[in-house]
Amino acid sequence: MMLKRRSFLTYFSLGWLTACFPVVLAACAPKASIQSTATIDDKGATKPVSKITADGFTVVGSVAELEKAGYIQTKEVAVSKDPTNPKQLLAVSSKCTHKGCDVKWMAGEKKYECPCHSSEFAADGKVLKGPAKTNLTTYSAKVVGTQILVKI
Ligand code: FES
């Protein structure tokens, strides 16, 4: 009787350990560095993109998207090529510094315009026309492979 009880406890313990092992492994694994955020397409709809947090840079779009549209814009940031040096990327906040509306890239004029009260900003975020008095916040941007990353 004692032997059966011991065997039962041994098998029960092994079964319990086997069942819990994957859960323990998952709990101990490093957290994924990829998170989700969103971009705004031409029609104003949002679409998810990946966010890389390891070095603080976020994937905001692809080089192909930038080449096609001339800019990339998410809810947080807008990226365009420097009009004076197309090899250089300029990343600025998407939020107008007047009252926080989302600025829009005007491709023909190579500047951002706010639809709420008509403030205008250069590609580098400098105020061109009020009522906004403060430049758009600027961020570092870089190309990694085929993707555009911004340190937000
Ligand atoms: Fe942009 Fe007023 S919120 S100009």
Distance from residue 127's CA to the centre of ligand 1 (Å): 11
Instruction: From the CA of 131, give the closest atom in ligand 1.
Output: 4
Domain that holds residue 126: 38-151
In a domain, 54, yes or no: yes
The SS3 call for residue 133 is coil
Q: Residue 70: its pLDDT value, please?
A: 86
Report the number of distinct structural domains present in the chain. 1
Please write the tens of the pLDDT for every residue from 70-83: 899 988 999 999 98
Position with higher pLDDT, 141 vs 40? 141
Instruction: From the CA of 115, give the closest atom in ligand 1.
Output: 1
Please write the tens of the pLDDT for every residue from 87-125: 899 999 999 999 999 999 998 899 999 999 999 999 999
Q: Whose CA is nearest to atom 3 of ligand 1?
A: 99
Please write the tens of the pLDDT for every residue from 28-54: 443 333 344 445 555 554 454 556 556
In a domain, 4, yes or no: no
Q: Residue 11: its pLDDT value, please?
A: 58
Q: Residue 107: its pLDDT value, please?
A: 87
In a domain, 51, yes or no: yes
- Does the beta carbon of 99 sit less than 6 angstroms from any atom of ligand 1? yes
- Does the beta carbon of 136 sit less than 6 angstroms from any atom of ligand 1? no
In a domain, 18, yes or no: no
In a domain, 138, yes or no: yes
The DSSP annotation for 1-62 comes to: -HHHHHHHHHHHHHHHHHHHHHHHHHHHSPPPSEEEEEEE-TTS-EEEEEEE-SSSEEEEEE
Distance from residue 119's CA to the centre of ligand 1 (Å): 6
Res. 16: pLDDT tops 70: no
